[in-house]
Amino acid sequence: MRYFDLGIIALYLVGITWFGAQFRSSQKSLKDYFLGGKNTPWWAISLSIVSAETSTLTIIGTPALAFGGNLSFLQLVMGYLLARLIIIGLFLPQYYRGELYTAYELMRNRFGERVRKVTASIFLVTRALAEGVRVYAISIVVAIILGAGETPSIIIILLLTLFYTFEGGMTAVIWTDVVQMFLYVAGAILSFYVILNHIDGGWAHVWTTAAAAGKLQVFDFQFAFSSAFFSQPYTFLAGFLGGTFLTTATHGTEQLMVQRLLAAKNEKESRIALLSSWGVIFFQFVLFLFIGIALYVYYQDNGMALPALTERDKIYPRFIWEYLPVGVAGIVMAAILAAAMSNISAALNSLASTTVMDFYRPLTRAKQIDSEQGHQSSLKLARWTTVIWGGVLLAIALLARQWGNVLEAGLTVASVSVGALLGVFLLGILTKRVGENGTVVGVIVGLSAVLYLKFGTNVAWTWYVIAGSLSTLLAGVLVSPLVDRSPKGNA
């Protein structure tokens, strides 16, 4: 047991929890609790987007991908940039037309209450499942630190995150995100430097060895449209288009990200925050991929057996704990836990905001909930809804043990249903004559198409969002004239 390192980790956990809880006094309304009062600077929102987009899955899963493969995952990241441009052009103007708390209020305005609840439900299920995988990923780190799979330790981290999210709402989420992002990026840079110092010849040797092994390949231009092509997740078309559609869906339609965009002072600052976040994301993925490549070279140089595929998520955290100097290991491990806590807090607040604003609020009178007394009771409800979702995430995490590489598992879970969600939003924004019934049919078709691809074919997960969104869009357009007598056309 490395008690000094454990002390650093414990100090971080207590410190970040205390810091987040300090924002309780600023929470006086649902606008404060769910949108941070809409006075957060763009750069903080940008870094918060990065933190929400990064998780323990990213930190331990990305090096594992490069360790066993190459840099082809960057093809997805390039698609992330195009997705941001699409969101800026299509989605943000719609969100800033009114006083919205969630993405799904936009769908209510366009189609009606039923579509709002359908889209909100898709988000709740998808985000809970994906975030449950992320919570499970913490167990990999904790197991290495403590030498055993300590479920109580995972519960402690979840409870600490829940505490400051419960107290400080979205303001606490954003500002703890900023602190945690700097911590885990600094930890990654520090660990990369230490890994290079363990390799004779340093960076030059890593580059030469990686190039000879084909580890530096970024683009895979396999254009032969065959069943084999569609089963490969990181060809150029699968990666770039998959990354574009996935990010357009997650950042443009999921409350987890839209909530941050709505927290900006105005649409201009929201655009700047979203676009600038891509540069940091690109840097992060390059850094974590090169960490994986450096670890591959380290294993090769020392004649170490390559771990089994199911064990590769443990390579990076195990190296940190076993080879980094005392104190440094504690800082880097705390950084990994920081990313985990950042994601948990973001998910808890977005799940609670969707539950309260899209399901509870429509059942109450707006004037009643917006009164002074209503604000206090609503804040209480929002906080306890956050607690309930914390329990749900823990339960899912305990079930997510046999899902393969944690990064791909998390992305796969999200990809199954967010395609249909994106398709609904495209119907709402791009069409004027598609109505509520046609949209619901489109959702059913889109989800069915992706479930077929997932369980009935070997098509790679990077195609799921593309298939789900396009089939939802096409089905909605074709079916609506048959099932909608007087479609709403106020888009």
Q: How far apart are CA 293 and CA 418, in angstroms?
A: 31
pTM: 0.84
DSSP, collapsed to helix, strand or coil, labels residue 309 as helix
Cβ count within 10 A of residue 78: 18
Cβ count within 10 A of residue 305: 6
DSSP string, 152-180: HHHHHHHHHHHHHHHHHHHHHHHHHHHHH
Q: Is 251 left (phi over 0), alpha (psi -120 to 50) or beta?
A: alpha
What is the reported pLDDT for 101?
84
> What's 226-259 look like in SS3?
CHHHHCCCCCHHHHHHHHHHHHHHHHHHCHHHHH
Mean pLDDT by 10 residues, the chain (491 residues): 81 86 78 82 92 78 88 91 95 87 89 91 87 75 67 77 84 86 86 90 93 90 68 84 91 90 92 95 94 92 79 82 82 79 84 88 62 64 89 81 56 78 93 91 94 88 91 95 67 41
Q: How far apart are CA 146 and CA 140, in angstroms?
A: 10
Closest alpha carbon to 397 in 142, 183, 175: 142
Looking at the DSSP assignment, which residues form a beta bridge with residue 264? Answer: 40
What is the reported pLDDT for 376?
67
What is the reported pLDDT for 447?
93
Place of tokens 């925050």: 273
Residues constituting the chain: 491
Closest alpha carbon to 378 in 107, 26, 27, 109: 27
Residue type at 353 in one-letter notation: S
Tell me the HSE value of 258 on the side-chain side, using a 13 A CA sphere.
Answer: 29
Q: How far apart are CA 212 and CA 458, in angstroms?
A: 30
Q: How far apart are CA 20 and CA 217, in angstroms?
A: 42
What is the reported pLDDT for 236?
85
Give the tokens for residue 475: 């089905």
Helical spans, DSSP H, in 87-150: 92-95, 104-110, 113-146
Q: How far apart are CA 30 and CA 352, in angstroms?
A: 11
Q: How far apart are CA 352 and CA 123, in angstroms?
A: 12
Q: How far apart are CA 185 and CA 16, in angstroms?
A: 16
What is the reported pLDDT for 471?
96
- CA gyration radius, the chain: 22
Q: 145 near 333, Cβ under 8 Å?
A: yes
Q: How far apart are CA 158 and CA 229, in angstroms?
A: 40
What is the reported pLDDT for 230?
81
Superfamily of 3-411 according to CATH: Sodium/glucose cotransporter (1.20.1730.10)
Place of tokens 């950084």: 335
Tell me the HSE value of 8 on the side-chain side, using a 13 A CA sphere.
Answer: 18
Residue type at 419 in one-letter notation: G
Which residues fall within 8 angstroms of residue 64, CB to CB, at 6 or more apart?
292, 312, 313, 315, 316, 405, 407
What is the reported pLDDT for 283?
94
User: H or E segment at 404?
Assistant: none
DSSP, collapsed to helix, strand or coil, labels residue 226 as coil
Q: 145 φ, ψ to 5°?
A: -65, -45
Q: How far apart are CA 178 and CA 349, in angstroms?
A: 16
DSSP, collapsed to helix, strand or coil, labels residue 40 as strand
